[in-house]
Amino acid sequence: MKDVRADFPQLNRMIHGKRLIYLDSTATSLKPRQVIAKEQEYYTTYCANIFRGIYTTSEEATAAYELARTKVARFIGASTSDEIVFTRNASESINVVMNALSRTNLHGCEIATTIMEHHSNFVPWQQLALGFGVTFRVWNVDASGTLSLKDLEKFVTKKTKLLAVTAVSNVLGTINPIRQICHIAKRMNPHCLVLVDAAQAVPHMKINVKDWDADIVAFSSHKMLGPTGVGVLWGKKELLEEFSPYQYGGEMIKEVHVDRTVFADPPHKFEAGTPHIAGVIGLGAAVDYLEKIGMDAIRNHEIEISDYALKALATVKGITVYGPTNAKDRGGVIAFTMKGTHAHDIAQLLNEDNVCIRAGHHCAMPLHEFLKIPATARASFYVYTTKSDVDALVDGLEKIKKIFQ
Ligand SMILES: Cc1ncc(COP(=O)(O)O)c(C=O)c1O
């Protein structure tokens, strides 16, 4: 893959005379200047509210906002841009669906998810099930951090209303076979909805929602080089039509009378109030940027870096890496523990060398409980990560090992 580091201004930052080694892209990605410039262009040349104005800058802003919707739709293989709803983040996208289901009768149903979910795709379903007093089922991973498809045949029942599953684990790195999962779930129960949390997939690999045959897909702009404050909810058109709106207010209506309101069609039905216009336009620029590099090139780069990192970490005594052992079976994220050293101490000491990693439960407490570990350290990679970044991580870990032994 072509070297893109010059596009990321933050990589020039020196702290205490040392270069920034950013290994936390799973939490959020850095932003290329092309995205920053596009957001700034909106604020400096055609800042106006969308949909409302019959004047040039408002029309320009509306066109740029809707163009971003078209780009996102094409990027994930949606049938039409009407299937793309802009939200605040992946969490809100999932909550839109949870809210819609909470307005239906779920008595006698089951809600299902997996042990490897981020809290964003776990807590809404747990709370929905608790609210209705219905069964909440959790699909566990095996020793290699993988979900067994054989288990799925017993896991999805005629009562399963929804199966919520991540495409890529933000801890184990496991890439789940979403197409097969959707296929099996529908075979076991044609009425089961499958919601895919694609927050760690869309930024890193080519995905196509139609190939997956999922019903709903959620992800965030800020993890795919785009601005913070923008999320995406893709849903099959008929489902979005059926779902109740999440919030009420301006822009999401066709007619309002004293005694009743007629809601707008999707996606506008779900976008109450003034959205993050600049952010959405910036997301469009991020999609352009990713497409220019090519999603296959990005995926191959991450496999190469992950493979290098897995081999390098294996040379550090006392390190345990979680999740699949082959880089091809995982996204660009590696969670690990180091014997005798708490994950927080690892992250804090690495920071002295300006190496940025995460430590803790990574919003996946049920998974950590299942693995019987309080916390992991996590390094994650993206388009700008180099092997020398990984070397800096490993050098830092060797230094830490000496301190703690
Ligand atoms: C797999 C996964 N799902 C959902 C989320 C939530 O994303 P957001 O905080 O943008 O809503 C994250 C964030 O780390 C994630 O990794």
Q: What is the pLDDT of residue 1?
A: 85
Is the separation of the CB atoms in 97 and 73 below 8 Å? no
Confidence of residue 159 (pLDDT cuts 50, 70, 90): very high
DSSP, residue by residue, 74-130: HHTT-S-GGGEEEESSHHHHHHHHHHHHHTS--TT-EEEEETT--GGGTHHHHHHHH
> What is the spatial distance between Cα 86 and Cα 317, in angstroms, rounded to a whole number?
46
Structure tokens given for 19: 């270069």
Q: Is the CB of 385 under 6 A from ligand 1?
A: no
- Measured in Å, residue 362 CA sits from the centre of ligand 1 at 10
- Measured in Å, residue 363 CA sits from the centre of ligand 1 at 8
Report the amino acid identity of residue 204: H
Confidence of residue 16 (pLDDT cuts 50, 70, 90): confident
| CATH number listed for the domain at residues 35-291 | 3.40.640.10
Q: Which atom of ligand 1 is nearest to the CA of 200?
A: 1
Q: Which atom of ligand 1 is nearest to the CA of 223?
A: 10
- Measured in Å, residue 328 CA sits from the centre of ligand 1 at 22
Q: Whose CA is nearest to atom 13 of ligand 1?
A: 27
Q: Is the CB of 170 under 6 A from ligand 1?
A: yes
Residue 405 has pLDDT above 80, yes or no: no
Q: Whose CA is nearest to atom 14 of ligand 1?
A: 27
CATH superfamily of 5-24+294-404: Aspartate Aminotransferase, domain 1 (3.90.1150.10)
Q: Which atom of ligand 1 is nearest to the CA of 197?
A: 3
What pLDDT, in 10s, does the model give residues 184-197?
A: 999 999 999 999 99
Q: Is the CB of 120 under 6 A from ligand 1?
A: yes
- Residue ranges per domain, the chain? 5-24+294-404, 35-291
Residue 53 has pLDDT above 90, yes or no: no
Residue 42 has pLDDT above 80, yes or no: yes
- Measured in Å, residue 73 CA sits from the centre of ligand 1 at 20
Residue 322 three-state SS: coil
Q: Is the CB of 200 under 6 A from ligand 1?
A: yes
- Measured in Å, residue 170 CA sits from the centre of ligand 1 at 8
Q: What is the pLDDT of residue 40?
A: 98
Confidence of residue 52 (pLDDT cuts 50, 70, 90): confident
Residue 342 has pLDDT above 80, yes or no: yes
Q: How many CB atoms lie within 10 A of CB 242?
A: 12
Residue 207 has pLDDT above 90, yes or no: yes
Is the separation of the CB atoms in 160 and 110 below 8 Å? yes
User: Is-catalytic flag, 356?
Assistant: no
Percent of the chain exceeding pLDDT 70 equals 100
Question: Per the residue annotation, which of 47, 109, 356, 363 is the catalytic one?
Answer: 363
CA atoms within 13 A on the CB side of 170: 29
Q: What is the pTM of this model?
A: 0.97
> What is the spatial distance between Cα 161 and Cα 178, in angstroms, rounded to a whole number?
17
Residues sharing a CB contact under 8 Å with residue 213, sequence separation 6 or more, in sequence order: 179, 182, 183, 186, 194
